[in-house]
């Protein structure tokens, strides 16, 4: 097989990519990367704030439970004092 001397590689169609198009793609890539970093930072902070709020509410619930338990104990002792007869029994409840 012989190649014709009239065919040259320079005659093959070339696609020329404009440099402005490459720069545009690079800028879009960098903008996307920066946007991802900003979104990650925003949602990370939002997540941390919600965790702090959840911890605060859990602490409030525990404090409320402790207060309720103390009120029930006081109420129980009050009813026991009211139903007991005599000073000596009432003094025994006060000591406990």
Per-residue pLDDT tens for 85-95? 767 666 766 66
DSSP code, position 86:
S
Burial class (CB in 10 A: 0-12, 13-18, 19+), 17: exposed
Across 11-39, average pLDDT:
86
Whether 46 maps to a domain, the answer reads yes
Per-residue pLDDT tens for 35-78? 999 999 999 999 999 999 999 999 999 999 999 999 999 998 88
Extract the tokens encoding 67.
């207060």
Cβ neighbours of residue 94 closer than 8 Å, sequence gap 6 or more: 81
Whether 69 maps to a domain, the answer reads yes
Domain count, the chain: 1
pLDDT at 96: 58
Q: What is the pTM of this model?
A: 0.53
| Residues spanned by the domain of 91 | 18-95
The sign of the dihedral angle between the CA atoms of 10, 15, 19, 25 is negative
Cβ neighbours of residue 47 closer than 8 Å, sequence gap 6 or more: none
pLDDT at 42: 97
Whether 77 maps to a domain, the answer reads yes
Mean pLDDT of all residues belonging to the chain = 83
Whether 78 maps to a domain, the answer reads yes
Whether 4 maps to a domain, the answer reads no
């Amino acid at each position: 097989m012989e190649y014709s001397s009239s065919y040259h590689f320079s005659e093959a169609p070339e696609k020329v990519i404009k440099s402005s198009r490459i720069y545009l793609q690079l800028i879009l890539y960098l903008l996307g990367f920066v946007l991802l970093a900003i979104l990650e930072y925003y949602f990370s902070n939002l997540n941390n704030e919600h965790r702090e709020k959840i911890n605060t509410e859990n602490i409030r619930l525990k404090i409320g439970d402790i207060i309720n338990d103390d009120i029930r104990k006081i109420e129980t002792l009050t009813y026991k004092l009211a139903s007991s007869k005599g000073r000596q029994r009432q003094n025994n409840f006060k000591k406990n």
